[in-house]
Amino acid sequence: MNPSIPAISGDLASQTRVTSDECLTDPYIIHYPWIAAVASEEGDRVELIECFDCIGGAMWVKKHYAKSPLVTSVRTVGSMNRYMLKTGVVDLNLEGSRFPAGISAVKISDSTIAISYLGMGGGGVGATICRATAAGVISSTYDESGGGKVAGSTLVLPRHSRVLIGVDDTDTPEQGATWTLVHNIAQAVAGDPKSTDPHRYLSHTIVQLFPVPFRTKNCVGVVAEFASTNVQDLIDRFRCLLQKYTLSEKTGMAVYLGFSPEELLPFGEKVKRGQVEPDEAGRLESKNLKIIMHGRGITGAIAAIPYYTRYDEALELYGP
């Protein structure tokens, strides 16, 4: 038998468990946990990464900000909206419901990235105070927002570089798992996401490789993505922990320093399709790609790098 719904009668306030002692600190503000920005080496492109707390608001923003002339693409990865931007300043012809908010300016200096937002009504609240209080913001200026106002803000963020660290072969048939070790090391070197640590851990991607005969079991490499303002410190700390905790003498670790590792995709696809020798992987070392640990796992470590956040492609098994 389904329980009946009790009738509501009398003083509604007396029937609720909410008391006058309960209150909301900021009833019309949703604070972004953190915001980061990565710049290209040439200083003409930016990836803006916004960690959100309210998925409804994030999807609304994604829909409308994509219409901004400075936004070339946007995608959602976990709890982050990631915007590819070009530099410049534009006028936004905002229109309620159709284009109520967007990004109006992107400027890069040697050490900072400035992002300007503009929105109307609730979109103005999101464009101003909601973002201004996020961890990672060096400074901000913003208008009064709310109601029907058009309001804007400018956030100044550290200029981060993208660092991709590929790892393979850290376990043995008896114990260990590369994907867990990489994640735990990444969290350790990045520290508290709400701190002023120079490294922010952005993503972790498991990449299925060709199942070679000498694999432990599943044959995967892993790539961890960071935004960093002190690249050498990040690499040194990661390498130190990897050397300390790996269970294998054949561990490979590679680091890609650059805005996009698409140049490595052909190699990654080759390693997904068949067995590739470490010597071939070693010949790929370049200005952007550094080999840190030279074990047999370097093949899978480098192959994993171009698949960062490309989860469907990364997990596809190409071989028989």
The confidence score (pLDDT) of residue 4 equals: 60
Six-digit token string for 60: 């609304």
Q: Is the per-residue pLDDT at 191 higher than 90?
A: no
CA distance 46 to 23: 39
Q: Is the per-residue pLDDT at 76 higher than 60?
A: yes
> What's at 170, amino acid-wise?
T
Type and span of the H or E element at 55:
helix 55-65
Name 120's bridge partners. 150
CA dihedral 62, 63, 65, 69 (to 10 degrees): 130
Which of 5-19, 70-84, 280-294, 303-317 bottoms out in mean pLDDT, i.e. has the lowest? 5-19
Six-digit token string for 177: 């798992």
CATH architecture of 161-315: 2-Layer Sandwich (3.30)
What proportion of the chain, given as a percentage, has pLDDT over 90?
76
Span 240-253, average pLDDT: 96
Type and span of the H or E element at 290:
strand 289-294
Strand order in the sheet with 289-294: 199-208, 220-228, 161-168, 252-257, 289-294
CA distance 67 to 7: 48
Domain boundaries, the chain: 29-158, 161-315
**Cα→Cα distances 270→44, 133, 172, Å:** 31, 45, 25
pLDDT tens for each residue of 131-150: 999 999 999 999 888 888 88
CA distance 93 to 105: 14
The confidence score (pLDDT) of residue 203 equals: 98
Give the N- to C-terminal CA distance of the chain in Å, as an integer.
54
Q: Where are the beta strands (DSSP E) in 173-278?
A: 199-208, 220-228, 252-257
pLDDT tens for each residue of 157-173: 999 999 999 999 998 77
Burial of 12-46, coded b for 16+ CB within 10 Å and e otherwise, reads eeeeeeeeeeeeeeeeebeebbbbbbbbbeeeebb
Q: Is the per-residue pLDDT at 82 higher than 80?
A: yes
CA distance 48 to 44: 13
Residues 6+ apart with CB under 8 A from 68: 90, 92, 102, 103, 104
pTM, entire model: 0.90
